[in-house]
Amino acid sequence: GAGVSQSPSNKVTEKGKDVELRCDPISGHTALYWYRQSLGQGLEFLIYFQGNSAPDKSGLPSDRFSAERTGGSVSTLTIQRTQQEDSAVYLCASSYRDGNTIYFGEGSWLTVV
């Protein structure tokens, strides 16, 4: 597609369950980012993938969070044993390698009840 595609757009899950959020970046973009936007908060960096390099995981808030990127394209963000504080919009973005304009998807709205 023309833009960054994320799924699901909305997810309600019970506390303690695992969730997977998917991101399909713009074709040809080698860099992929995950951010989290909580209600009333700014955008919190989670993880960054660039080509085949080791990902920058410095923003992951706990070991319950993990992400992978298969074949240098689609990425999955996994949250294990979800907690209520994980409720947020999870944004994926992608760009070309040179770090120029970063394009965001519409986000996955996660609600943990």
Partner 1 sequence: AQSVSQHNHHVILSEAASLELGCNYSYGGTVNLFWYVQYPGQHLQLLLKYFSGDPLVKGIKGFEAEFIKSKFSFNLRKPSVQWSDTAEYFCAVNQAAGNKLTFGGGTRVLVKP
Q: Which residues are at the interface with partner 1 (CB under 8 A)? A: 31, 33, 35, 41-43, 45, 48, 50, 56, 59, 91, 93, 95, 97-107
CA distance 75 to 48: 11
**AA identity, residue 77:** L
- Name the minimum Å distance from CB 94 to partner 1: 11
Complex with partner 1: residue 82 or 93, whichever CB lies closer = 93
CA distance 57 to 8: 23
Complex with partner 1: residue 33 or 65, whichever CB lies closer = 33
Residue 94: Cβ within 10 Å count: 24
Complex with partner 1: residue 27 or 100, whichever CB lies closer = 100
- Name the minimum Å distance from CB 111 to partner 1: 16
DSSP letter for 56, please: B
- Name the minimum Å distance from CB 20 to partner 1: 20
Complex with partner 1: residue 14 or 101, whichever CB lies closer = 101
The order of strands in the sheet holding 65-69 is 5-7, 19-24, 75-79, 65-69
